Chain A
Amino acid sequence: MKNSSNERRVISVIVLNESSVLARITALFAGRGYNIESLTVAPIPESDMSHITIATNGSAKVMEQITKQLHKLIPVYKVIEHEEMVEKEMVLAKFPIAEHLSDIGALCAAYNGGIVNVGREMIIAMVADEPQRIKHFIEASQRYNPSEIVRGGVVAIER
Chain B
Amino acid sequence: MQMSGAQMVCEAIIAEGVTTVFGYPGGAIMHVYDEVYKQNGFEHILNRHEQASVHAADGYARATGEVGVAMVTSGPGFTNAVTGLATAYMDSIPIVVISGQVPSQLIGTDGFQEIDAVGISRPCTKHNFLVRSLEELPRLLKEAFYIARSGRPGPVLIDIPKDITVDIGEFVYPDTVNIPSYKPTYVGNKRQIEKAVEAIKKAKKPLLYIGGGVVLSNASDLVRELAKKTQIPAVETLMARGVLGAKNPLLLGMLGMHGNYASNMAMSETDLVISLGARFDDRVTGKLSEFAKYADIIHVDIDASNIGKIVDVDYPIVGDITEVVEAMMPQLDGIDTDRYEAWRSILKRYDELHPQSFVDSDEVIKPQWAIERIGELVGENAIITSDVGQHQMWAAQHFPFDRPRQWINSGGLGTMGFGFPAALGVKKAFPEKTVINITGDGSILMNMQELVTAAEYKIPVINMILNNHFLGMVRQWQTFFYEKRYAETDLSFQPNWKALAEACGGIGYDVTTKEEFDAAIKDAIAQDKVCFMNVIINRFEDVLPMVPSGGALFNMMLPQKVDKTKETK
Interface positions of A (Cβ within 8 A of B): 1, 15-16, 19-20, 23-24, 27, 31, 61, 64-65, 68-69, 71-72, 74-78
6 A-B pairs closest in CB distance: A68-B305, A77-B181, A74-B127, A74-B182, A31-B123, A68-B304
Known: A65-B308, A69-B305. 11 other contacts (CB 8 A): A15-B181, A16-B180, A19-B130, A20-B118, A20-B122, A23-B119, A64-B308, A74-B127, A75-B181, A77-B180, A77-B181
Among B126, B305, B308, the most chain A Cβ lie within 10 Å of the Cβ of B305
**Contact residues on B (Cβ < 8 Å of other chain), bracket:** 10 to 19
- Per the 8 Å Cβ criterion, residues 121-150 of B in contact with A are 122-123, 126-127, 130, 132, 147
**Is B1 part of the contact surface with A, judged by Cβ < 8 Å?**
no
Nearest CB on A from B86, distance (A): 13
Q: Which of A23, A27, A61 contacts B308 (CB 8 A)?
A: A61
The residue of chain A having its C-beta at the shortest distance from the C-beta of B311 within the complex is: A1
- Per the 8 Å Cβ criterion, residues 300-338 of B in contact with A are 303-305, 308-310
Among B119, B122, B179, B303, the most chain A Cβ lie within 10 Å of the Cβ of B122
A24 to B122, CA, bound (A): 7
A64 to B118, CA, bound (A): 27
Q: Collect the chain A residues with CB atoms within 8 Å of residue B182's CB.
A: 74
Contact of A27 with B123 at beta-carbon distance under 8 Å, contacts A1-B309, A16-B180, A74-B179 already known: yes
Q: Collect the chain B residues with CB atoms within 8 Å of residue A19's CB.
A: 130, 132
Q: Collect the chain B residues with CB atoms within 8 Å of residue A71's CB.
A: 304-305
The residue of chain A having its C-beta at the shortest distance from the C-beta of B132 within the complex is: A19
Contact of A65 with B181 at beta-carbon distance under 8 Å, contacts A23-B119, A27-B122, A71-B304 already known: no
CB <8 Å contact, B123 and A72? no
CB <8 Å contact, B308 and A74? no
CB <8 Å contact, B305 and A72? yes
- Per the 8 Å Cβ criterion, residues 335-368 of B in contact with A are none
Among A31, A74, A75, the most chain B Cβ lie within 10 Å of the Cβ of A74
CB <8 Å contact, A20 and B130? yes
Complex A-B: 26 CB contacts under 8 Å: A1-B309, A1-B310, A15-B181, A16-B180, A16-B181, A20-B118, A20-B130, A23-B119, A23-B122, A27-B122, A27-B123, A31-B123, A64-B308, A65-B308, A65-B309, A68-B305, A69-B305, A71-B304, A71-B305, A72-B303, A72-B304, A74-B147, A74-B179, A74-B181, A77-B180, A78-B181
The residue of chain B having its C-beta at the shortest distance from the C-beta of A69 within the complex is: B305
Nearest CB on B from A66, distance (A): 10
Q: Collect the chain B residues with CB atoms within 8 Å of residue A15's CB.
A: 181
Nearest CB on A from B384, distance (A): 32
Nearest CB on A from B217, distance (A): 18
Q: Collect the chain B residues with CB atoms within 8 Å of residue A64's CB.
A: 308
Nearest CB on B from A81, distance (A): 14
The residue of chain B having its C-beta at the shortest distance from the C-beta of A70 within the complex is: B305
Nearest CB on A from B189, distance (A): 16
Q: Which of B130, B181, B305, B308 contacts A76 (CB 8 A)?
A: B181
Q: Collect the chain B residues with CB atoms within 8 Å of residue A78's CB.
A: 181
Q: Collect the chain A residues with CB atoms within 8 Å of residue B309's CB.
A: 1, 65
A1 to B132, CA, bound (A): 38
Nearest CB on B from A34, distance (A): 13
The residue of chain B having its C-beta at the shortest distance from the C-beta of A48 within the complex is: B180
Nearest CB on A from B300, distance (A): 16
The residue of chain A having its C-beta at the shortest distance from the C-beta of B151 within the complex is: A72
Q: Collect the chain A residues with CB atoms within 8 Å of residue B119's CB.
A: 23
A78 to B182, CA, bound (A): 10
Q: Collect the chain A residues with CB atoms within 8 Å of residue B305's CB.
A: 65, 68-69, 71-72
Interface 0/1 of B93-136, CB less than 8 Å to A:
00000000000000000000000001100110011001010000
A71 to B182, CA, bound (A): 9
A71 to B305, CA, bound (A): 9
A64 to B132, CA, bound (A): 34
Nearest CB on B from A123, distance (A): 40
A71 to B180, CA, bound (A): 12
A65 to B118, CA, bound (A): 24
A72 to B151, CA, bound (A): 10
Nearest CB on A from B152, distance (A): 8
Q: Collect the chain B residues with CB atoms within 8 Å of residue A65's CB.
A: 305, 308-309
A154 to B387, CA, bound (A): 49
